[in-house]
Homo-oligomer: A and B are copies of this chain.
């Protein structure tokens, strides 16, 4: 199989990085960014639908997503798949408790994406030199865990309509943090099968439920673009409150 990885010829300097404030490196003052950049091995571009790593792989890199969408998921022994989270720019990927063991999940790009690569080895050294980064990672991981908890509630205790409403609003809100000027329409690169594997339903039932939401004028979803038509109704359905998605630094 061909190696899809491509080093970006014109890697962007950390000092002018447009997504830094969304990433763990918001904790590092401008004056020390050159140090961070020394730990960055490279910037790497991948086309849509390629894997960054597979569940079970030994993997020695850590990533900060620079642009694009990445889907994190787990595979079951019976062939099933459960999506854990969608990563947006600034998100930190491939951190897990057993840093030397096999990956507990897979990561696949949904769109063309660019990532900054930080070898695990460097991470530990960085923590040592910049303890505030360790705190930052703890904070980011706690945030991701909290989101995971919301997903768990979603799948464990809600019906199909509520699950979809929640997913849409969760992505909509996170997207708005990245693009504050966003209107009611956002890119939505996943397929209905991806959605099904996120909310714990089948593709067919997702389609059915989507139809009902569409007919009631709550959302429009087509051609990888999602439009929120009736925010209050969706929000009510989802049992969602935006405050759940914190994005403030810890300190």
Binding site for B on A (CB under 8 A): 74, 76-78, 80-82, 84, 95-99, 101, 104-105, 124, 127-128, 131, 134-135, 137-146, 148-149, 151-153, 155-158, 197, 199-200, 239, 243-244, 246, 248, 250-251
Contact = CB atoms under 8 A, between A and B. Distances in A.
Nearest to A243: B101
B250 A99 contact: yes
Contact of A101 (B77, B155, B246): B246
A225 to B, nearest CB: 26
Contacts of A248: 98
Contacts of A199: 156
Identify the interface centre among A96, A157, A197, A243: most chain B CB within 10 Å of its CB. A157
Contact of A97 (B98, B152, B250): B250
Contact of A156 (B78, B82, B146, B239): B82
Contacts of A138: 95, 134-135, 137-138, 141
